[in-house]
Structure 1
Amino acid sequence: MNSLKLPMWLSGLNGRALAAPLLIILMLAMMILPLPAFALDIFFSFNIAIAIIVLLTSLYTVKPLDFMVFPTVLLVSTMLRLSLNVASTRVVLTEGHTGPDAAGKVIEAFGHFLIGGNYAVGIVVFVILTIINFTVVTKGAGRIAEVGARFALDAMPGKQMAIDADLNAGLIAEQEARRRRTEVAQEAEFYGAMDGASKYVRGDAVAGIMVTVINIVGGLVVGMVQHDLDFADALKNYTLLAIGDGLVAQIPSLIISTAAGVVVSRVASDQDISGQLIGQLFAKPQVMFISAGIIGGMGIIPGMPHIAFILLAAVMGGSGYVVRKRMEVAAQEPTKQEAPVIQAPEMEEATWQDVLPVDTLGLEVGYRLIPLVDKAQGGELLRRIKGIRKKFAQEVGFLSPPVHIRDNLELKPSAYKIALKGVEVGSGEAMNGQFLAINPGMVAGTLPGVPTTDPAFGLPAVWIDSGMKEHAQTLGYTVVDASTVIATHLNHLITTHAAELLGRQEVQLLLDHLSKEMPKMVEDLIPKILSLSTLQKVLQNLLLEGVHIRDMRSIIEALSEYAMHTQDANELTAHVRVVLGRAIVQQIFPGTNELTVMALDSRLERLLMQALNTGGADGSGIEPGLADTLSSQAEIATKHQEQIGVTPVLLVPAPLRTLLSRFLRRTLPQLKVLSHAELPETKTIKVTSLVGGQS
């Protein structure tokens, strides 16, 4: 026997997900399809039950946000009442001539209960109930909601500052701060929604009066013209039905309006309405005694209902006595029982667990960029960061530390910040959902959007909408999305600060990895000949000048050879660079045999050699005038190299390479300094300019 299976789309839905759509469809159906009297009884009873549930729920809520769905309930219940009015009006006008029970027992019972044989009194009472609902309850609740929304919006900045102050003081955690900020925003939205939803109830009250009048007038016309009823019978039937119909709709409306007033008029505390009423209205025995005396005095006045007043005065006096006895008992309880309550909120003592390590690499984002780094929302940036670390390891030669990502509510919504060992090294803004059109220098037109600068390389750019992407590409712009902007900036900073990312732990992990392939070579070098710290310094020197350390076999062999003669990290770095010369040149000049370089003027070269011999390798012997000349001439030559489209490279004698590289690195980070010993013999050298030749 085959089992019955639900469709896949239906099996994924639960009862809660179907409740709201089914209710809306049901209300629309009641306006269009005719309903029998029995169905009307069911729906009217359901409407009254919902109103009672809403009222009791509002009475037992501790704060307005505990009943956050109330504005929607207000709207749906109003639409339900209007749908029932339409359905019942159809039945009243089509079947009203058959008798008072034509529209069901509920409408008949409410009509008899209110009218009581006097139609004029019934109409007046119905109008009074509608006016009370419209002008008193609903209007008052709407006004309170309007003022509450305004005050909630005005108080938001102060509440946000208070939350930030508690967070900075360490009184609350970041998760608690985020929850409080969400609650502040929800409170303002709740009062605003209540202000709007109350307008539906006011409209419902007006509609109730109009529907009742239409039912009476229309019923008289239909009964007398179509069904040949006399005026008295038609008035009796249709007035009873119209008043009953209006009453069965207005009583739930009045109940829900009262619930709305209760929700928006209360002050938030840790007690529900019942607890507040009993605990505050009847909490002072003096008030109860004075009130009992006044009521008792009124009871002894001739002509007054003595039994009612005196009985009420006795009840109030007894209540005051009970309250006073409870207060005396509470005051006599030992104070030690209150001590734990006072000590509970005290802060715990600081421990070593409060000292948190600083993340080597950190990325902080504003709240609008959270979808880019949220795995649950398919964050594209997470995948790109994994790709960046993989590419970095393959190209540079070691695995960078992981990037710790967190949201920072103190940043602008679309801003991000990149930190290295807790210190900011880069920041920018990325518009989630938009594209950054970068001008590489040869575009055919301009684009409408928000002008900005590419955070990674400083190129002029424009944030554009997604619809402008293809047009921007046709104009020659490089178009990337927000996650690519952040990933490119992060990749640029990781590459730039590679030397700082290579810590002692990374060097040890690198050696452990090499030991699997060349265990004897690593064991003979570290720590027998060279210390781990010296190896780290050599590798950092290479990374500082953009030299990749993928070829660790050549580096280990060179260090094994020269570490027997010197332990100086700078000298060892120079020897390693000679061994890596072919790789260094290929990294700077890929795919060419002709090396376009700059060179030193012979006179400037002799002066620098003299300064090197006088002051040492740190360059302290360079005179200020000579230093200014060298810096300015190198800057001019570098700009000339960039203008002709080649990488600026300065070729110097081997003894001067370390000195000039360290000296020019701060002012000209894009300039590469090579020595003659590092160039392969197979390469052709073309000197395009001389540094110092014009001095």
Structure 2
Amino acid sequence: MKKTDLALGIYLMAAIIFLIVPMPSFLLDILLALNIALAMVILFNALFSLEVLNMSSFPTILLFTTIFRISLNVSSTKLILTSGEPGNVVETFGNFVGGGDLIIGIIVFMILVIVQFMVINKGSERVSEVTARFTLDAMPGKQMAIDADLNTGAITDAEARERREKIQAESNFFGAMDGATKYVKGDAMAGLIIVFVNFVGGMAMGVLRMGMTPADALNRFTILSIGDGLVSQIPSLLISLATGILVTKASKESDIGDVLVQQLFSIPKVLYMVGGSLIFLAITTPLDKIVFISYGLAFILTARMIANKLDVKSIESEVNEDEVSADEIRKPENVSTLLQVDPIELEFGYGIIPLADVNQGGDLLDRVVMIRRQVALELGCVVPMIRLRDNIQLNPNQYVIKIKGIVVSEGEVLFDHYMAMNPGYVEEEVTGIPTFEPSFHLPALWITESQRERAESFGYTVVDPPSIIATHLTEVIRSHIAELLTRQDVQNLINNIQEANQTLVTELVPKLLNVGEIQKVLQNLLSEGISIRDLITIFETLADYAANTRDTDVLTEYTRQSLKRAISNKYFPPNETNSVVTLDPKIEQEIMNSVKQTEQGAYLTIDPDTTQKIIKSVEEEVGKLENLGRNPIIITSPIVRMYFKKLVGEYFKELIVISYNEIDSNVELQSVGMVTV
């Protein structure tokens, strides 16, 4: 058993034993002194702890000290009633505090009890209740803030977990404090009752058993009762004060002494006004002039000293800034910082800055957080942190989106306008500035705030500038998410599922496939808009087929077939006949005959004339689907799908190529054409 456990056990057992077994007066003196010392330790720890969780065991401490103090009260009561000799500590407190006068002693004791019971205990109890309530109400907001920081990459998973645990600890602490303050209140009431019992019982015992006169008994037992009450109430008062300090502690950066001094004596003009007011009162009223003028001069001198310190700090700050600037100019340029490339950047002209400035009501930063959440839920991978910065080289209303430092898309927005788009069936016209929607290049109009309601009533789709930028950024991320997926990202995905799927991960990595090969498969899926959230199914499929082939393109096809339910749900609405285009078996055979296998992978050697005919036919057949308002989907046999996608993918970015094995059995299809030559 550890020494601390043994000491705690003895402390608690002593409290129980003293309630039953009589205690000699010299031992009572020792334990009363220990009780006072412990109360001081608790008070000063509460005063100088940097935050409340540094004393998270305070509710338990309250319970232990309360039961120990009550046991000492009972022991002192036994000694008072049996022998009238409770020891030096009790008698000294009774004589010294009252100054040998019973009336003064009674008044001082009553004042002390009123201060503790009505002021400190009552205030601590109320603050504990309110703090517990507000802490519980604030928990959802704090959790959302942690999630937002985690999604933006500001904190790691470990830091987020630590913050969540801290929030839970604070909630538990203040909830326990709310109940623990009831111990303090009950202890004060018990102390009053014990004092009354000591007084009445002592008078009776002194007159009836000890042969004292009523006057002697009154004098003796009043002093002892007051002394016993004080020797228990003073430690109780100290712990009550510690409770109040702990639940009202606001600063988490320094101890309460530094905070109080800094907040009360840091503004010179406040001290000047206080000093001047005291001197004015000394001159114009009968108040003691020496005392008030002395205090007034002291405050004025203190204000002057603080003002001088502030001036010196200001000069030192300016000098330090100049020295830092000079050092920056003199030192060699750190070229390594120029080599870093952000995965995703959104740069904008100065006219768009209000959209990203929180102080001006901009919510673009919040929208970026939501984009990362949306893509994570939709595609199953974490989007890298998106860097937002202004660029004075751009036009005021222009913005550009960069992937790995290269501009991949751009657009313009008018800060105080809205974009109105005709969904195709609106005949009424509104006046505005013609433009194109940057994400899908649809014709649109810039309209003013006053035209917004009118355009919406006509049926126009009206969006604000932040939504335009956010939608554009989302589409760019979706189209480039495959190249943004790094090996480290794949390793993080593996780590996330490893704990619950140790056998699967151990079998697959690195025995069958390394991280780079898994990355290629996941990139192939993402490049065609297939979510990789179901990593378990993906890894199970790779583990099944990787022993036969390590060709990542072939493994991708096997994986797609395993994900056919997700693919069908993405492209084919249930309970609906879906229009598609099929591929002529002759073309499929032509493609397969043109496949050449090498150590680096397979490639097509189909002749250019045939390729052009296929492209032209695809264009005609896809046009039929677009006229019907359907997605451009072409169905092929499984063995041809990936080669056909590579053949036409460069010409038709939005074309969806699906094999028959990737379609769920309950999907209804209707062919509206066939790609042929």
Q: TM-score, normalised by structure 1?
A: 0.49
Which structure: larger Rg? 1
Q: TM-score, normalised by structure 2?
A: 0.50
